[in-house]
Structure 1
Amino acid sequence: MELSLHRLRMLRELHRRGTVTAAAAALNYTASAVSQQLAQLERDVGSKLFERLGRRVQLTEAGEVLTEHAEEILRSVERAANALENTKGGVVARLTAGVWASVASGLLPRALTTLATDHPGVEVRTRELAPEDTAGAVRDGALDFSFVIEYSDYPMPWDPALTKVVIAVERLHAAVPTGALPGAPVSLADLADQRWILAGPRSHFGRAVRLACQRSGFEPKISHEVGEQATALAMVAAGLGVTLVSDLGLSLRPDGVEVVPLTEPVMRTVSIAYRTSSATRPSLHLVIDAVRAAAAEQGLGAASPLP
């Protein structure tokens, strides 16, 4: 019997997520592709591994046994890959990173250009995810590392299986239609009567901004709820309302948007998260060094030593 690591990862995700659709989304596949691969895994082992219960699935006894061993096998493969990387004279590795728009446009180009020049054997591929999903994808093995954020008004719970290294510290600024607010800086309270363009309350950004406004004594009047910062800024440029934008998000600013500093700073940290079991990978630390240098060149550096 030959077991495919690829299919074992799918079985592990099915166990964690409870549905084929959720497992497929976590692995960036279609549900039909995951179903086909799991069916092949059942043929490989000669046993039924799961049963459908409505929209959810339940592992059989054989499925539970194989999933338990899959966890050990996949951890062993990761340890072996880490050990091999440490034996090479020059670092050669391919890493997959979780990013979101402002990091991808405002920080990564400079960092990856430097990395390609100094360490051409290290290749970084990216997957754009919602900031709320990146850490979970690292924990589950779908990514090697990801960028994560934490706001001064909204601290995040942390998974002890992950290590977090701060690489940048950003301010949030008011983004308003050009000429809408003469004079600067402004307080959040000065924006209480404005129409707001903001991400939903379940997003880290949307929740953090709502809390900051509430602490300033008002509930923002949200006219447009959008998830993407670039979309929000385009709507600001069209005169549809105001929003907040981070330092890295300024790279997405279109014409017609004026950036105004806040009198009471709202801060956020940008970190790189990776599995603690990957802490000895040289390639990972080379990437962290390159990203930190790029952040420092933009005045966003954070003095946080590598673990």
Structure 2
Amino acid sequence: MELSLHRLRMLRELHRRGTVTAAAAALHYTASAVSQQLAQLERDVGAKLFERLGRRVQLTELGMVLTEHADEILRSVERATMALEEAQEGVSARLTGGVWASVASGLLPKALTLLAADHPGIEVRTKELAPEDTAGAVRDGALDFSFVIDYSDYPMPWDPALTRVVIAVERLHAAVPHGVVPAANIHLTELAEQPWILAGPRSHFGRAVRLACQRHGFEPKINHEVGEQATALSMVGAGLGVTLVSDLGLSLLPSGVDIVALTEPVMRTVSIAHRTVNSRRPSLQLVIDAVRAAAAEIGLGAAAPLPGPNQPSVTGTIPPAAGTAT
């Protein structure tokens, strides 16, 4: 009997989530693909591992036994990978990281160029996810690391099993249609009567901007609720409203948009999250070093995180906080 690590990971996730659909979402596969792989695992083992109870799935006794061993096996693989990297003179590894649009366009190209120049044996692959999903994907083992964000008005919740390393500190700026704001600086309250283009309140960005506006005494009038920053900026360029954009988001700027500094800026940190058990993994640390160097080169480097409740050290864990991550 040969056991696939890939299928063992799916079985473990099925046990955690209770449904094939939820397991597939956590691992970023289709439900049909997970079902097929789990069926193959049953054929590999030669025994029934789970049974359906309505919409949920319950593991059989043999399924539970295999899941317990799967957890041990997968942790052992992580430890073995780390030990092999530590024993090598030159590091060779493949890592998968979670990104979102502004990080992928504004920070990652320079970071990967620096990494390739100094450590060509390290290959980094990326998956674009909603910012609020990246930390969970790291915790569940679908990613080796991910970029995560914290806003000065809205810190993200945190999992003690994860460690984060602060990479950059950004300001948020007002993005307005060309000519709407003639000044170089503006107070957020001066945008109170403007139509807004903003992500929904369940996203971390959308919630953070709403809280910043509320702190200044107004509710933004949201005419267009869109999830993608590039889409929001294009709509600003078409004269449909205003929004906020971070320093990294400026790489997505279309024509017809003016960027105006806020006199009391909303700030955010960009960090890399990884599983704490992998803190000594050489390839991971080299990737982090390259990203921090890239952020410093473009003027966004950070030696410490933003002040605020539940603040972690530059490298460390923080306790859970209320809210959702985005």
Q: TM-score, normalised by structure 2?
A: 0.92
Give the aligned partner of residue 20 of structure 1: 20
Give the aligned partner of residue 264 of structure 1: 264
Question: 1:46 is aligned with what amino acid?
Answer: G
Give the aligned partner of residue 287 of structure 1: 287
Give the aligned partner of residue 153 of structure 2: 153
Question: 1:258 is aligned with what amino acid?
Answer: D
Range that drifts further, 58-67 or 110-119 = 58-67
Range that drifts further, 65-74 or 53-62 = 53-62
Give the aligned partner of residue 141 of structure 1: 141
Give the aligned partner of residue 244 of structure 2: 244
Q: Once superposed, what is the RMSD of the aligned Cα atoms? A: 1.2
Give the aligned partner of residue 216 of structure 2: 216
Contact map agreement 2:197 2:232 (CA 8 A) in 1: yes
What is the rounded CA distance, in whole Å, between the counterparts of 2:25 and 2:147 in structure 1? Answer: 19
1:56 Cα offset (Å): 2.1
What is the rounded CA distance, in whole Å, between the counterparts of 2:130 and 2:54 in structure 1? Answer: 28
What is the rounded CA distance, in whole Å, between the counterparts of 1:79 and 1:189 in structure 2? Answer: 52
What is the rounded CA distance, in whole Å, between the counterparts of 1:17 and 1:189 in structure 2? Answer: 44
1:306 Cα offset (Å): 5.4
Give the aligned partner of residue 114 of structure 1: 114
What is the rounded CA distance, in whole Å, between the counterparts of 1:229 and 1:16 in structure 2? Answer: 33
Contact map agreement 2:166 2:315 (CA 8 A) in 1: no
What is the rounded CA distance, in whole Å, between the counterparts of 1:69 and 1:236 in structure 2? Answer: 53
Question: Secondary structure in 1 aligned to 2:186?
Answer: coil
1:202 Cα offset (Å): 0.7
1:43 Cα offset (Å): 1.8
Give the aligned partner of residue 167 of structure 1: 167
Question: Secondary structure in 1 aligned to 2:200?
Answer: coil
Runs of 4+ that moved beyond 6 A:
none
Give the aligned partner of residue 66 of structure 1: 66
Question: 2:150 is aligned with what amino acid?
Answer: E
Question: 1:291 is aligned with what amino acid?
Answer: V
Question: 2:6 is aligned with what amino acid?
Answer: H
What is the rounded CA distance, in whole Å, between the counterparts of 2:17 and 2:190 in structure 1? Answer: 44
Give the aligned partner of residue 93 of structure 2: 93
Question: 1:143 is aligned with what amino acid?
Answer: L
Give the aligned partner of residue 188 of structure 1: 188
What is the rounded CA distance, in whole Å, between the counterparts of 2:271 and 2:285 in structure 1? Answer: 13
In structure 2, list runs of 5 or more residues that go unmatched: 305-313, 317-326
What is the rounded CA distance, in whole Å, between the counterparts of 1:59 and 1:201 in structure 2? Answer: 37
Q: C-alpha deviations, 1:189-229, integer Å up to 9, x for none?
A: 11111111001111110010010011111111111111110
Q: TM-score, normalised by structure 1?
A: 0.97
Question: Secondary structure in 1 aligned to 2:258?
Answer: strand
**1:274 is aligned to 2:270:** no
1:21 Cα offset (Å): 1.7
**1:300 is aligned to 2:303:** no
Give the paired residue count: 307
Contact map agreement 2:97 2:143 (CA 8 A) in 1: yes
What is the rounded CA distance, in whole Å, between the counterparts of 1:144 and 1:79 in structure 2? Answer: 13
